[in-house]
Structure 1
């Protein structure tokens, strides 16, 4: 795994968390409230945890946990996007509801996030292929059923793609003025 890429992920998620956690005053109140209570700091901690997976010989358990780690980061990044655009999400006919009540973005599982992003064409098919791969590999955490878990090389490439996904999502986020957006 490329240490420079992991450092950029840590740095990027640190900046995203710092900025969006404190967006009161310029972001819509409901969105700012949601982001201030969201655990964006855990995105940073999970980013730091990627360093644990730079192993020489990958044991199956380590690889499964590494995919779960990466899957949580992908999920959190998609949730951040919907939290930033919370008011749009709430008004959207394609949002998810339980008993007529909108399911908050921070409660959506990766599959629901993926479905919403696909219906709204927020990402292209290349990204959905990537998210599908990470989701399939991460689901190996449910250890009873035999599932493909890839290998160390595929994991490293997928971590690099996560950095690209973060950059893509960040470029879609509104900032009050130039200079506030994270630099990866």
Structure 2
């Protein structure tokens, strides 16, 4: 496994981070949405019907939240809530992609998410149950991904709230955009590509 070096992410302008996220998710869509030639059949079928193109579209929408818009101060809370919702959807989509790629392993896992005796496929899982599964079966503890995803999840949930919720600041949001690029790298390094040429590197 390659060591994930995030020094380039920390020194990059936030606009550059967003461009890398867009290109990363575009490459993931281009490759994984048509994996019938070599991926296991059930995984390929699941990936082919998943809307990975929406991950690309949502990635492009991140540009809306990094534009300097000093004239829109009165709407900053609304913009920030929508920005968190945007990021939370991307995080959820990346986790669903992971489980779809490893569908055969997931469905045979003793901790696979079920409703009664029926397996819940990755494309219909909610973030909360996925997070618990990833914490138990996928993520190494030293990466602190569970803590980070829970943080983004809480911020994202403000979009459902009428009562007051903590939404943080855009500075915090930009930090988490950098973390999302790192999150993409972490999971991508575990994907079973058929050769080195196929691996996206952003």
Q: TM-score, normalised by structure 2?
A: 0.88
- Partner of residue 15 from structure 1, selected from 21, 27, 36: 27
- Partner of residue 102 from structure 1, selected from 83, 101, 119: 119
What runs of 5+ residues in structure 2 fail to find an aligned partner? 1-12
The CA deviation at 1:119 is: 1.2
Larger-Rg structure: 2
2:167 aligned residue: 149
8 Å contact kept, 2:139–2:145: no
The answer as to 2:17 corresponding to 1:5 is yes
May I ask how many residue pairs the two structures share in their alignment? 184
8 Å contact kept, 1:22–1:36: yes
For residues 26 and 123 of structure 1, what CA distance do their matches in structure 2 show? 28
- Partner of residue 107 from structure 2, selected from 76, 90, 94: 90
- 1:173 partner SS: coil
- Root-mean-square deviation (CA, aligned residues, Å) is 1.3
What runs of 5+ residues in structure 1 fail to find an aligned partner? none
Moved over 4 A (4+): none
8 Å contact kept, 2:55–2:93: yes
| Deviation string, structure 1 residues 80-114 (Cα, Å, up to 9, x no partner) | 00000000000011011113110001111111110
